[in-house]
Amino acid sequence: MRSTLWIELYLQRSARLIDQLLRRPDGASAGLREAGGVPIADALLVALPLAALYGIGMGLGAGLRTAMYNGAKLSLVLFASAAICLPSFYVFASLAGSRFSLREAARAIAGFALITAVIWAALAPVTGFFTASVAKGSFLIVLHISAIVLGFAIGGSILGRALIGSQQKIQVDEDGAARTPPAIEKTPVNQPTRFRVSPTFYLIWFVVYAVVVSQLFVDFTPYLEASPFFRPERTLFFEAARQALN
């Protein structure tokens, strides 16, 4: 047996999971809406290495040690933010009328983390090119922050459509092409939808999630220059952002 067989199996399984989620005929949001959702272990096993890959590329200009630190830090930010905000996500969704279980909520958050990490991996060649071309400066900070925020925003919008959007049945022809029925089938008003929540709930939760992510970035300090693994002093993310841009 080849020593690299487990790597090949991991890559094949990862590619299959990403392909099944992103290329669904009814959209990626439907994959997060399903009762089965995305398997938590599979999603994290794919999302965390992809996040680490982006972090490594972000810190290569400051040396290999900082690059490896950044890879670990970005994975920790993605995992810790999901773990910290999962209870509030489940409770707020239940109060807003959703009827999914805690396990299904965890699968939705895991799928959100997976989509976020895939976006980062897709942007890594672009940001890596500028990181190699530009020595230092505020441009690189703004560039990487924009790429990271874009990943969270796209993942959050897909999760939001899964929780807020109307239920719509997608039929698939014999040739595999998706065909939408003429009329959109919505759940009757008097019948509660298992996965639908109010836009207000989701907006409140996502603001909470964004604040947690911002503070985690400050605590773990995934910077473009050499820095300790944890920030030695305690500070709020607003103050850290102001110092970094200056």
Question: Is residue 136 scored above 60 in pLDDT?
Answer: yes
Q: Which residue is associated with the tokens 């590329």? A: 57
Cα separation, 84 vs 105, whole angstroms? 13
The one-letter amino acid at 206: F
Q: How confident is the model over 65-124, as pLDDT tens digits?
A: 778 888 888 899 999 999 999 999 988 888 877 777 888 888 888 888 999 999 998 898
- Give the residue from 221, 228, 226 showing the smallest Cα distance to 243: 221
pLDDT greater than 60 at residue 35: no
pLDDT in tens, 168-215: 443 444 454 545 444 434 444 443 445 567 788 888 899 999 989 888
Integer-rounded Cα Rg, in Å, for the chain is 20
The answer to whether 100 touches 93, Cβ cutoff 8 Å, is yes
Burial 99-122 (b: 16+ CB within 10 A, else e): ebeeebbbbbbbbbbbbbbbbbbe
The two most distant CA atoms of the chain are separated, in Å, by 61
User: What's residue 229's pLDDT?
Assistant: 62
* Structure tokens, 240: 């850290």
pLDDT of residue 212: 92
Question: Residue 40: which pLDDT band, with cuts at 50, 70 and 90?
Answer: confident
Residue 47 Cα distances to 55, 72, 132, angstroms: 12, 12, 24
pLDDT digits (tens, 9 = 90+) for 223-236: 655 566 666 667 77
- Give me the mean pLDDT over the 29-51 stretch: 76
Q: In the predicted model, is pLDDT for residue 29 greater than 80?
A: no
> Bridge partners of 179?
171
Within 8 A by CB and 6+ apart from 49, the residues are 75
Higher pLDDT, 13 or 84: 84
User: What is the dihedral angle through the alpha carbons of 45, 49, 51, 52, rounded to the nearest 10 degrees?
Assistant: 140
What is the pLDDT confidence band of residue 135, given thresholds at 50, 70 and 90?
A: low
CB of 48 within 8 A of CB of 121?
no
